[in-house]
Structure 1
Amino acid sequence: MKLTFWAALWIFLIDQISKFIVVQWMDLKTVGAIDVLPPLLNFRMAWNTGINFGLFSTAPWVLIGLATGIVVAVIIWVWREQSVGKWGYISAGLLVGGALGNVIDRIVYGAVADFLNMACCGIDNPFAFNVADISIFAGALGLIFFTGEKAPKT
């Protein structure tokens, strides 16, 4: 469980610090766009008030409660699970830290601050994301691949 705590803490800090630097210090909230390494990496301000397809965009408290519930469920699950292993604990920490980072955004800003935009090979990507989103995705995949019953040796 220590690995889960430390992974969650570091992801949370990296997410919040990166958002502060880009959104506040670099003033992306006002500027709207900063080309970093076009077209590979750009900062594009996007305030995400909902989830996919705008669901729950008018009820942020639902998303805060849902994310908090998932965090609690993941922590309880990895605490009880016997076959999590090092990478499972780290994966849980990635998911928890990212989810808490986005919860703080919803509380502070009323929306999640997304700013990373990547494109390649002539494909224009209109979507933006943040460190927490990457972490949540990686943590969920890690929990799928690194937890569960181990196959018995034959």
Structure 2
Amino acid sequence: MRKKLVLSIIIFTILFIIDQVLKYGFTHFNLNIDGPYMSLQLAYNYGVAFSMFSFLAEYLKYIQLSMVIAGFIYLLKNKEVFTEYYLPITLLFAGGLSNILDRFTYGGVVDYLYWHYGFEFAIFNFADIIINCAVAIIIFMQIKQWQAERKEKKNKS
């Protein structure tokens, strides 16, 4: 458990710093670049995914911070969950807390990766990629666990 916690803190710190440095660069220097498929373009998201709930912009930072704190408390009481899912949890916390810090620092989440080839897609950031990777890892782990349980049941019968 201790080894996983230390590794988790290291990964969290590295990813959090990378994301914040990228966002600082886009907010303080003109890093906008137009490309044929993807552009780098500064934008602020005052809502959540695809700007949903932007009418709650002033309160989202507190709502999201409360959710992170609740998740942290849950993990303190259920250490086995952290032990099993420490990597995706670390990714979720790094991306989530970095985006929450944006809300306190810039008033909204700093986005800059704009996909526009074939269809207009949302503008997103490195933290969003981290969060999506965490969700993919959790889904993969759940599928593997389900398959193992199914195989075990089949072997018992």
Alignment TM-score > 0.5, same fold: yes
- CA pair 145-2 structure 1, distance change in 2 beyond 3 A: farther
Aligned mates of 1:46, 1:8 — CA distance in 2? 24
Aligned mates of 2:119, 2:71 — CA distance in 1? 35
Q: Write out aligned runs for 1:33-72 (5 A).
A: 33-35=32-34, 38-52=35-49, 54-72=51-69
Aligned mates of 1:53, 1:21 — CA distance in 2? 23
**Identity across the alignment (%):** 29
User: Larger C-alpha radius of gyration, 1 or 2?
Assistant: 2
Q: How many residues align?
A: 144
Q: Provide the secondary structure at the position in 2 that maps to 1:116.
A: strand
Aligned mates of 1:34, 1:146 — CA distance in 2? 37
Larger helix share, 1 or 2: 2
Which of structures 1 and 2 has the larger relative contact order (alpha carbons within 8 angstroms, sep 6+)? 1
- CA pair 52-9 structure 1, distance change in 2 beyond 3 A: same
Per-residue CA deviation, residues 87-127 of structure 1 (Å, 9 max, x unaligned), is x211111110111111111111111110011344xx14342
Structure 2 partner of 1:12:
16
Structure 1 residue runs without a partner (length 5+)? none
Q: Write out aligned runs for 1:134-145 (5 A).
A: 134-145=129-140
Q: TM-score, normalised by structure 2?
A: 0.74
Aligned mates of 2:119, 2:135 — CA distance in 1? 27
Structure 1 partner of 2:88:
91
Check conservation: 2:111, 2:124, Cα contact below 8 A: yes
Residue 7 (structure 1) shift: 2.3
Structure 2 partner of 1:82:
80
Aligned mates of 1:34, 1:149 — CA distance in 2? 41
Structure 2 partner of 1:111:
108
Amino acid of the residue matched to residue 70 of structure 1? M
Aligned mates of 2:81, 2:107 — CA distance in 1? 38
- CA pair 84-44 structure 1, distance change in 2 beyond 3 A: same
Aligned mates of 2:24, 2:90 — CA distance in 1? 21
Check conservation: 2:82, 2:89, Cα contact below 8 A: no
Q: TM-score, normalised by structure 1?
A: 0.75
Residue 10 (structure 1) shift: 1.6
